[in-house]
Amino acid sequence: MKVRQKFIYQEFFRFFALVFFLFGAFTLIIDFFEKFPSFLSFKKPFILFISYLFWKSWIELYQFFPFILGLSALLQIFWWSRNRELIAFLSLGFSKSEVLGEFLKIYALFSLLAGVILSFIFPRAVFNAIYIWDYQMTGKRAKYLVFKKEIL
């Protein structure tokens, strides 16, 4: 691995981790305080609430992932521009296409890999979050419809 690739990848993961943590903490705090009063009224074990928040966080990650990736890319370019690292790359003899090509390659690869992984996890996360909140917390009975007939 070349030095410039290592530098670009380290910067990518640093900015992505920062934005991911900020979005994740923000949405987790909002969900916690939104659902916690209802959870207290159900008088169920706290581990059930934690499992609900776990599955709900996967749903929110699926929804916010493109924004997180785009915002981290913009922050990285702004940071490089602010600290004159883009000018340093150019003064070392790297062309703009080399620097930005490497930059876009890591973002495209990470977007594709994470998108595929999240696409497999998302349906299970939605089912588990709804099942935990609607049936295990509230005590509703699960109904299954097959050809407009109820199977109890």
> What is the percent of the chain where pLDDT is above 70?
92
Residue 93 has pLDDT above 60, yes or no: yes
Assigned token pair, 28: 């987790």
Element (H, E) at 136: none
Sequence-separated (6 or more) residues with CB below 8 Å from residue 134: 140
Assigned token pair, 34: 């939104």
Determine the pLDDT at residue 89: 86
Task: State pTM to two decimals.
Answer: 0.79
Main-chain phi, psi angles of 95, to 5 degrees: -85, 165
Over residues 39-65, the pLDDT tens digits come to 998 888 999 999 999 999 999 999 999
The helix, strand and coil proportions of the chain, stated in percent and rounded to the nearest 5, come to 85, 5, 15
User: Could you give the angle at which helices 3-42 and 96-131 cross, rounded to 10 degrees?
Assistant: 20
